[in-house]
Every structure is written in structure tokens, then in C-alpha cells.
Amino acid sequence: MAASDNRTGEDGCVRCPICKKEVAAGDPNVPFCSDRCRVIDLGNWATEKYVVSTPAPPEELEELEDSEPPEGRRH
């Protein structure tokens, strides 16, 4: 599931992250179109199909900062 798959459109609708159907902003299942899709998504988390990445260790961040050209840095 990509973040852009369920962004709010001009009409206030979002796309269900599972089946991609349009879902009205006021729907009680938002961002899902149904309980079925909500349960499928929960199952994906439970089976670790989706994961939250761990933060990079400080050493890796320092290495990245050191390898970046000065004009690429943002302060």
C-alpha cells in the first residue's frame, strides 16, 4: 500500500487501501470501504505483511551526513 493510494480527492473521497474503491469522507469505515477490508488490513499487520521500520542508529545517520555534499544539506 502506497501513501498516494488513499489521498483525499477534491470531492472528499479517499480510496480504500485494500480494494481501491472510493470511500466518502463521512463513511464510518474510512479509510476502508467495509468491515471486510478493515479485517484484511488488520490481518496484514498481524501476519507482519506490513512493518514499521526501525529508526537508523546514530552512527548510520552520521555516515549519511558525512557523505552528503554540502549543497544537499537542509538546516
Distance CA 61, CA 75 (A): 15
CATH number for 11: 3.30.50.10
pLDDT for the residue numbered 16 = 97
pLDDT for the residue numbered 6 = 58
Number of domains making up the chain: 1
- 12-18: Cβ within 8 A, 24+ apart: 17/41
Would residue 40 count as lying in a domain? yes
Would residue 19 count as lying in a domain? yes
Would residue 74 count as lying in a domain? no
Better-predicted residue by pLDDT, 52 or 73: 52
- Say yes or no to pLDDT of 70 above 80: no
Domain with 41, as residue range(s), is 3-68
For 6-65, how does the pLDDT look when each residue is reduced to its tens digit (9 = 90+)?
A: 556 667 899 999 999 999 988 999 999 999 999 999 999 999 999 888 887 888 888 878
Would residue 75 count as lying in a domain? no
Would residue 52 count as lying in a domain? yes
